[in-house]
A and B are shown apart, each in its own frame.
Chain A
Amino acid sequence: MTTDVAVEMITVVIDGFEVTVPKGTLIIRAAEKLGIQIPRFCDHPLLAPAGACRQCLVDVEINGRAFPKPQASCTIPVEPNMIVKTQLTSPVAEKAQKGIMELLLINHPLDCPVCDKGGECPLQNQAMSTGRTESRFTGVKRTFEKPINISSQVLLDRERCVLCARCTRFSEQIAGDPFITLNERGALQQVGIYEKDPFNSYFSGNTVQICPVGALTGASYRFRARPFDLVSTPTACEHCAAGCALRTDVRRGKTLRRLAGDDASVNEEWNCDKGRWAFKYLSSKERVTSPLVRGDDGELREASWPEALARVAAGFSDKKVGVLVGGRATVEDAYGYSKFARITLGTNDIDFRSRPHTDEEAAFLASTVVNLKTTYADIDKADHVVLVNFEPEDESPIVFLRVYKQVRKRGLQVTTIAPFASRGSEKLKANLLSSFDQVTNLTEKSVVLVGERSAEVPGLFSAIAAHTTAKIAWIPRRSGERGALAAGALGNLLPGGRPVSDAAARIDVQTAWGVDSLPTELGRSTEQILNSLNSEGGLDAVLIGGVDPSDISSAALGQLLNSFVVSLEISHSAVTAIADVVLPVAAVTEKAGSFLDWEGRERSFDKAIEGPLVTTRSDVRILSMIADEMKKPISLPSVTSAAKEFSALGVWDGASVSKPTNASASTPSVSGDQAVLTSWRQLIDLGSLQAGEENLAGTARKAVAVISAARATSLGVKSGELLTIANERGSITVPAHIANISDDKVWLPRNSQDSQTIVTFGAAEGCLVSVVKA
């Protein structure tokens, strides 16, 4: 277990300069502190030392006794009375390094002009600093078949590989996916896969990024650009709530690639393949480029901004309007929606939850989550991590990496409340339980990570809210939810966690906003908003920002048909297809803003793309324009103004709303072919932000139906044989996978190729289905 004790410091002399570093620091990194760059390939600060490439050889002496041979500075921790001489002061080290570089290049194809890595290649750079101008090798180079696809997304060019094993070590040590390995031996040693099992790790892209040569390349970026033609901007990932720092690389107004950014306290240096490779939607041909209004002919046509805004104002004025924010709004945009609903529309009918949700959850969010301060660092120090209806590998991959790191490092105890042990849970060696009340062994150092699917289990959020020992965290899937919660884009909360029901809280906000009053009636949830659109005395209109109705229910889209619908969207969608007015908004790369990750940590980012073809208005700016048009201004003309105002408002320090106290419900009983459906979304699936990413889609986990061995026996099926799962609305046929799941349950992926439970069954969790052999 880690404890916060003072770290012993050690002083060493490197090239005549003293440097003091914590005990355990490797020579190569102590040298970095002095600004002395020792060349290296296999060394990576987040991987266990390998000492394989031998490029970082230096002369070392301890207590006056010199090592007889130069030593790999990436494998030796500093010691007291150590004197190190690098290539700068030791002719032996210098010759050793030059010799290694020469050896590394004898079998390298030297094809930099056609290599994606050219221009940002550690081998190229260090060959310049440490190599010879001409090779003395006149023999025959080792050749391999040119790039082979080790997955649909990653290509391997073995001729370029220097066998540093960064990729294989990453896959094993960081991702827990040893799908690529070093094969063969000696001069024929090469990175490879088992021929039938490709490199389908959710984290495979990191190997491309850390490859110190051009051996691993991403299919999506291959031959697209030269590094020196790219403009790089630090950004934050919009896909999930993990909060990854990213770098977005743009050439001539088009995003060409995204890389993991460095943030030691959040994503370290990693990200997932979805965050890396799902960005075509940003430059899709389906982008909405101009305001659109529906004409008398029922068709959308381009309109000017004044015309479109006037249509919106006319449609909303004196009407009862609900607001659906969507899960990927920035904090600033969510704040805009929140303020727009209260001031311009005079309602608390606003919700950011475009997924299954309950009032119990709203109470949990308002009473508990707004105050949570659990962080990644708490996972690092935890004595026990409990996953509650939360599959980190699928639903928040960087959280998975963080937990896995501690499982590997110190055997961190992990418990999962899940229908069965997923691949992710197996990697975490998680103890599988079926309900939260079975969990024992929780201390104040334990961390309970609660997933958004907990909303699908009545009473669960109440039980979590009542728990007082361990640290709690709520980890939604989407990047915008924690920020939208903070911004008050929820029916029971105003910005800063202020309860709608609390008069003092309302006065806080009224004062800041300069209005006389705020609506007092608790707002409707997403589901209630949709339901009330078609009911007597219900809502008349709805403002929708970035919501896919099929994420909520199969009926959601139909419920919009007879109402006045305004859609703020980046691309054409099922909602724009039926909206009365469509207003184009900037995509995440085209605007500044911030997300709050699951910790509540701000992840701000700047505009990465500029140019004539780019849509520049963030949602908040457009909402402000509508509000002006409706003469009920919200005065948020820019992202900056929204950020400033929200920040000035601060957080509520008064009493929170009451915690939920819902009772648990019994699951339906099953008989015969019946089973209770359970599901979650896999990381790589049919999510709308992954549209058009064929290379990425090729690495998705194939849909399977998970059933128990007993059910398999009674059905007479083996793993891999087809099952049909059906209810009265539709059916799904996928291969069976036998696992330790309750005999009463069947699991399917929620939104994957061949298995979309909400679309097919109208529900994602808890409904009865039949399971038969196909």
Chain B
Amino acid sequence: MSYSTENIAIMDSIIARYPRKRSAIMPLLHYVQAIEGFVTPEGIELIAEKLELETAEVTAVSTFYTQYKSEPVGEYHVGVCINTLCAVMGGDEIYKSVSEHLGIGNDGVTEDGKVSLERIECNAACDYAPVVMVNWEFFDNQTPQSVKDLVDGARNGNPPAPTRGPKSLRTWKQNSAVLAGVSDGLAGEGVSAGEPSKLGLKLSKEGK
């Protein structure tokens, strides 16, 4: 995999956002994942060169954060929240059933490269438990069956839309580019808030 002139220009623009260029290491790692799907040796070496760092320093950072993957993940990376609240509310059952359904475990990838699975920690959507994230988009109030359907759809190239997110689910690489700060123009899509988020407001308007 090599980086095009356009890719390099985007990396330079990411670096230019910061008063000191080392700060760009995290968005650049997201960007490497946008281009290559995971943090490759080539990506590490390129970032080291761009930021005038040692490769070891880039490795130290990339291995600290769980979103940076040292191995390829699926086009649709499915994270099942197994932190206490989601686990208790059904996350454990969801994880068990989808893992059996796909025949892969934690950090596994299906043979077709379409779906990978991860046990994730709390994703700040507890009022929508049990929560599943796909490519870091919210899939709220899931059940074992809804997640089976979700991954089947993903493998068939027809995944359902996120509950609170864009109209259609974007790929792992596409969303990695967003996290690097490369806008995909989809901010306007999706609800402004889900029902639980609005519950207090609704009750207040009802005078309760």
Contact = CB atoms under 8 A, between A and B. Distances in A.
Contact of A185 (B53, B55, B59, B63): B63
A178 B53 CA distance: 9
Interface stretch (A6-14, A188-196, A397-405, A507-515): A188-196
A181 interface: yes
Nearest to B53: A178
A183 interface: yes
A194 B63 contact: no
A179 B57 CA distance: 7
B59 A192 contact: yes
B88 to A, nearest CB: 23
A181 B59 CA distance: 8
B18 interface: no
Interface string B31-59: 00000000001001100000001111111
B56 A193 contact: yes
Contacts of A184: 63-64
Contacts of B64: 183-185
Residue among A180, A182, A194 having the largest count of chain B Cβ atoms under 10 Å: A194
A200 to B, nearest CB: 11
A702 to B, nearest CB: 16
Contacts of B63: 183-185
Contact of A196 (B41, B53, B57): B41
Contacts of B60: 181-183, 192
A197 interface: yes
A179 B56 contact: yes
Nearest to B48: A194
Interface string B185-205: 000000000000000000000
Interface in B98-119: none
Contact of A195 (B41, B53, B54, B57): B41
Contacts of A197: 54-56
A591 B41 CA distance: 51
B59 A178 contact: no
**A interface bracket (residues with beta carbon within 8 Å of B):** 10 to 19
Interface string B104-143: 0000000000000000000000000000000000000000
Nearest to A177: B54
Interface in A147-188: 177-185
Contacts of A181: 56-57, 59-60
Contacts of A183: 59-60, 63-64
Interface string A179-219: 11111110000001111110000000000000000000000
A185 B53 CA distance: 20
B62 to A, nearest CB: 9
A372 to B, nearest CB: 37
A419 to B, nearest CB: 21
Contacts of B58: 194
A179 B59 CA distance: 10
A512 B92 CA distance: 94
Contacts of A182: 60
A223 B63 CA distance: 33
Interface string B55-75: 111111001100000000000
Interface in B139-169: none
A192 B41 contact: no
B56 A180 contact: yes
B56 A192 contact: yes
A430 to B, nearest CB: 15
Nearest to A190: B63
Nearest to A183: B63
Contacts of A180: 56
Contacts of B53: 178
A185 to B, nearest CB: 5
Given A185-B64, A194-B59, A179 B54 contact: yes
A181 B44 CA distance: 14
B165 to A, nearest CB: 29
Given A184-B63, A184-B64, A185-B64, A178 B41 contact: no
A481 B20 CA distance: 45
Interface in B162-181: none
Contacts of A195: 41, 59
A466 B125 CA distance: 75
Contacts of B45: 196
Nearest to B65: A185
A181 B64 CA distance: 11
A178 B51 CA distance: 14
A340 B104 CA distance: 83
Residue among B44, B45, B56, B57 having the largest count of chain A Cβ atoms under 10 Å: B56
A192 B61 CA distance: 12
A168 to B, nearest CB: 8
A647 to B, nearest CB: 48
Interface string A60-102: 0000000000000000000000000000000000000000000
Nearest to A179: B56
A196 B55 contact: yes
A132 to B, nearest CB: 33
A714 B204 CA distance: 76
B53 to A, nearest CB: 8
A612 to B, nearest CB: 48
A319 B59 CA distance: 67
A263 B132 CA distance: 60
Nearest to B58: A194
Nearest to B55: A194
A182 B165 CA distance: 36
A194 B53 CA distance: 12
A177 B57 CA distance: 10
Contacts of B55: 194, 196-197
Contacts of B44: 194
A180 B56 CA distance: 6
A298 B109 CA distance: 75
B66 to A, nearest CB: 9
A37 to B, nearest CB: 33
Nearest to A199: B56
A59 B195 CA distance: 51
A609 to B, nearest CB: 39
A179 B56 CA distance: 5
A139 B20 CA distance: 45
Contact of B54 (A185, A192, A194): A194
Contacts of A185: 63-64
A192 B63 CA distance: 11
Nearest to B44: A194
A182 B56 CA distance: 9
A177 B59 CA distance: 15
A684 B183 CA distance: 50
Contacts of A177: 54
Nearest to A150: B56
A194 B39 CA distance: 13
A193 to B, nearest CB: 5
A180 B59 CA distance: 10
Residue among B41, B44, B45, B63 having the largest count of chain A Cβ atoms under 10 Å: B63
Residue among B45, B57, B59 having the largest count of chain A Cβ atoms under 10 Å: B59
A194 B49 CA distance: 14
A193 B41 CA distance: 13
A173 B55 CA distance: 17
Contacts of B41: 195-196
Contacts of A178: 53-54, 56-57
Interface of A: 177-185, 192-197
25 contacts: A177-B54, A179-B54, A181-B57, A181-B59, A181-B60, A182-B60, A183-B59, A183-B63, A183-B64, A184-B64, A185-B63, A185-B64, A192-B56, A192-B59, A193-B59, A194-B44, A194-B54, A194-B55, A194-B56, A195-B41, A196-B41, A196-B55, A197-B54, A197-B55, A197-B56
**Nearest 4 interchain pairs by C-beta:** A181-B60, A194-B55, A183-B63, A194-B56
Given A181-B59, A193-B56, 11 more contacts: A178-B57, A180-B56, A181-B60, A185-B64, A193-B59, A194-B44, A194-B54, A194-B56, A194-B58, A194-B59, A196-B55
Interface of B: 41, 44-45, 53-60, 63-64
